[in-house]
């Protein structure tokens, strides 16, 4: 009898211990619930993009650029959460039978078409929004201006920058990936805005590979461990940029070719780009990274790289695992 009473009281003590200690599952649920308003707040803005591709040149380049534009669109819409209808595509060439549905339905990349798109964007864009602008194609440099080759009149860097001047969107990212694109940094540069170019501010007039590599990385991103190049635990725009720059440097190296494009990033608004990838490229690749000692040098908040590090990218892994529908 006594033993039974003792067992019962032990059971009661155990009951109260279980009842009073919060279960880890429950605690987690509350935390998750608490995070919802924060996530909703961050997601409040609309992600908008313009992908502008100038004239391609010949049949082989038509195919190459059409495929790259399709991949860029896939990357933005299937990987980075842009609604497909919020990604405006402007394509320079007349569409062909073999092109994707996206290219066939794209607006024509004339100067007038671009001006219309930029004006429409300006009307829609709100301060909480995101804007990405990706420019690709061929260009020619006349010693003063880097002209993007378009059907009809071309456009140069200062005219282009005017179309996007004084926008209020909190996140503004420009990828100008044409030859001699370095000249776009100065006019496009603005506080809080990220401007990435495929080349230096120099006569880098050779055809660039940057847009094709960017499209490849965006549409089929590497595993997070490899992608988080600065090892800060987040995949950011900085990681995306350095990954593309490093892949390109490695590709030129493997082909024993002198790199004819040196990408730059400006995000401190001073109008000057920096090769922020230099600390992540080996000496062979044209950088100064020490083997086994990845640069963890803190980025000064006034130097290039800090805004792009603050833009985290949520790649949709499930989508990337799916086979690409062509
Ligand atoms: Ca990172």
Q: So what's the pLDDT on residue 135?
A: 98
The Å distance, Cα 230 to ligand 1 centre, comes to 5
100-115 exposure pattern, b = at least 16 Cβ within 10 A, e = fewer? bebbeebebbbbebbe
Q: How far apart are CA 100 and CA 82, in angstroms?
A: 19
Q: How far apart are CA 227 and CA 220, in angstroms?
A: 11
The Å distance, Cα 192 to ligand 1 centre, comes to 19
Where is average pLDDT lowest: 185-194, 227-236, 280-289, 295-304?
A: 295-304
The Å distance, Cα 236 to ligand 1 centre, comes to 5
Q: Which two tokens stand for residue 3?
A: 């033993």
Domains and CATH numbers, the chain: 45-321 (3.40.50.1460)
Residue 30's Cβ-count burial label (10 Å; 0-12, 13-18, 19+) is: exposed
Task: Tell me which residues have their CB within 5 A of the ion that is ligand 1.
Answer: 228, 230, 232, 234, 236, 239
Across 287-303, average pLDDT: 71
How do beta strands 139-141 and 146-148 pair? Answer: antiparallel
pTM, entire model? 0.83
Across 138-154, average pLDDT: 97
Q: So what's the pLDDT on residue 44?
A: 77
């Amino acid at each position: 009898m006594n033993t039974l009473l003792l067992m019962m009281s032990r059971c009661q003590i155990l009951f109260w211990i279980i009842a009073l200690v919060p279960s880890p599952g429950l605690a987690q649920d509350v935390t998750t619930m608490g995070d919802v308003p924060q996530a909703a707040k961050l997601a409040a803005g609309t992600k908008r993009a313009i992908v502008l591709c100038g004239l391609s040149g010949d049949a082989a380049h038509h195919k190459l650029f059409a495929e790259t534009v399709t991949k860029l669109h896939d990357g933005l819409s299937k990987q980075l959460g842009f609604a497909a209808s919020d990604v405006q595509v402007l394509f320079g060439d007349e569409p062909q039978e073999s092109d994707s549905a996206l290219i066939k339905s794209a607006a024509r990349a004339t100067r007038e078409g671009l001006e219309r798109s930029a004006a429409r964007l300006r009307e829609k864009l709100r301060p909480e929004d995101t804007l990405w602008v990706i420019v690709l194609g061929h260009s020619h440099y006349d010693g003063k201006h880097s002209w993007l080759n378009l059907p009809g009149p071309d456009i140069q860097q200062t005219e282009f920058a005017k179309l996007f001047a004084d926008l209020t969107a909190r996140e503004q990212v420009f990828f100008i990936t044409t030859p001699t694109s370095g000249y776009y940094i100065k006019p496009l540069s603005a506080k809080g805005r990220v401007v990435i170019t495929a080349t230096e501010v120099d006569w880098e007039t050779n055809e660039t590979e940057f847009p094709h590599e960017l499209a490849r990385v965006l549409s089929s991103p590497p595993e997070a461990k490899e992608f988080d190049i600065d090892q800060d635990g987040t995949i950011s725009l900085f990681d995306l940029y350095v990954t593309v720059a490093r892949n390109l440097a490695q590709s030129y190296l493997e082909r024993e070719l002198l790199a004819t494009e040196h990408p730059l990033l400006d995000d401190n608004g001073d109008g000057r780009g920096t090769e922020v990838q230099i600390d992540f490229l080996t000496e062979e690749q044209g950088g100064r990274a020490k083997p086994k000692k990845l640069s963890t040098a803190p980025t000064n908040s006034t130097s290039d790289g800090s805004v792009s590090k603050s833009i985290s990218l949520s790649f949709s892994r499930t989508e990337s695992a799916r086979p690409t529908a062509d």
